[in-house]
Amino acid sequence: MAALKVRPVQSRRDLTAFIKLPFRLHRGTPWVPPLIMERRQFLNRDKNPFFEHAEAEYFLCERDGALVGRITAQVDERWTQFQGGNDGMFGFFESENDPEVARALVEAATDWVRARGRDRMLGPMDFTTNDECGLLIEGYDLEPLILEPWHPPYYRELLEGLGMTKTMDLWMWRLAMGELKQGDHFHDLIHQAAEAATEHGVVVRQMRKRDLEAEVTRFMDVYNEAWGTNWGFVPITEEEVRFQAKNLKPILDENWAMIAERNGEVVGAALTLPDINQVLAKMNGRLLPLGWWRFLTGKGKVDRVRVFALGVKPRYQHLGVAAALYVRHIEVAPRVGQLWGEMGWILEVNEPMNRAMEGMGGKVVKRYRLYELPLSG
């Protein structure tokens, strides 16, 4: 068998090959092709504000000139600042079912991270826990919803075969928000807490697209406070929020973007996204020649959502704000015809949130795993 060659992405053509590899590897699977132009922008060091506090290298693995794998290696100074330790990360892992390809890729990433003085590598993260992250280890037969990765079962075997061990699992919960009558599938305590929130003066309203810039700032403040103590969380910068908001604006539905206020102060927020993957699955990564038409005509047929983020500022978590946001979801679902969804990722150690999902009649349907690999010694 020909020798493997691992090299950095050096040109626009290389980056295109990097982006398109999973189109071949995952053909005929539940994987959903991303928009190529969006991935190109996300990976652009001059456009993605992640690179204002981090650096990364993109690697391709070839055999006889044919692309057989890819990986990124990155170091993020904000991770070091907020999570401590001396870590580097890897992401965007894709490989043929060949242990030697996986080994060559991971060695290239570890060499790069080690050369920057790091003593542990975590991942996969594309690029952070605020982006797509984790390796799918359960739910292979299910379609991924918006911003969820999909991986074949052999990826787990490849990474664990190289000595990677679990550092944290992330759960996706399925919620039947509008498939049953309101109240039938949420625990009574959730409805009672939502009523208490109203008595405390909490009001839930829709985000306003016409005022999106200010709404994004309000959401960011809640997001950074509410998730601040979670394992692996790194506060998102204003530039990163605006970068993501620009990408999400075409699919943002005001019905699903929620702000909770009390006495004029923002105390909680929820960002739920229509599952545009149902449309992207038919576009093969391209807007032209027919992608635009499929996107515009397909948006109205989306029947599911992903509860991407739902949080409450810590000093208001006793007021039932989260419950009020949950209940708003089951009010919206039948009205817009998007009757179920998935919520996550939720850390396996986040007992309060996981118990809340049980109270909403939820079921864990997918699990993602973050791995670690020591680099010292």
What is the reported pLDDT for 300?
A: 80
**147, 308 Cβ separation under 8 angstroms:** yes
Report the half-sphere exposure of 363 (CA within 13 A, side-chain side): 6
Q: Which regions of the chain are under pLDDT 70?
A: 1, 179-185, 288-293, 295-296, 377
Q: Would you list the domain boundaries of the chain?
A: 7-171, 174-367
pTM of the shown model? 0.93
Q: Output the pLDDT for position 182.
A: 47
- Residue 70's DSSP bridge partners are 60, 94
- Candidates 1.10.10.10, 3.40.430.10, 3.90.650.10, 3.40.630.30; CATH matching 7-171: 3.40.630.30
Q: Which fold has domain 174-367?
A: Aminopeptidase (3.40.630)
Residue 279: both structure tokens together: 């449309």
Lookup: tokens for 7: 């090299």
Residue 234 CB contacts under 8 Å (≥ 6 apart), including other chains: 76, 78, 79, 82, 83, 128, 129, 130
Return the pLDDT at 377: 59
Task: Report the pLDDT value the prediction gives residue 342, as an integer from 0 to 100.
Answer: 96
Length of the chain: 377
Q: What is the maximum span of the chain, computed from C-alpha positions, in angstroms?
A: 71
Predicted local distance difference test score (pLDDT) of residue 183: 45
Contacts of 242 (CB under 8 A, 6+ apart): 213, 216
Q: What is the pLDDT of residue 360?
A: 87
122 to 35, 87, 99, 303, 350: CA distances (angstroms): 26, 7, 19, 35, 20
What is the Cα–Cα distance from 337 to 303, expressed in whole angstroms? 6
Are both 7-171 and 174-367 of the same fold? yes
Helix (H) or strand (E) holding 40: helix 36-42
Residues 6+ apart with CB under 8 A from 250: none
For residue 179, the model assigns a pLDDT of 63
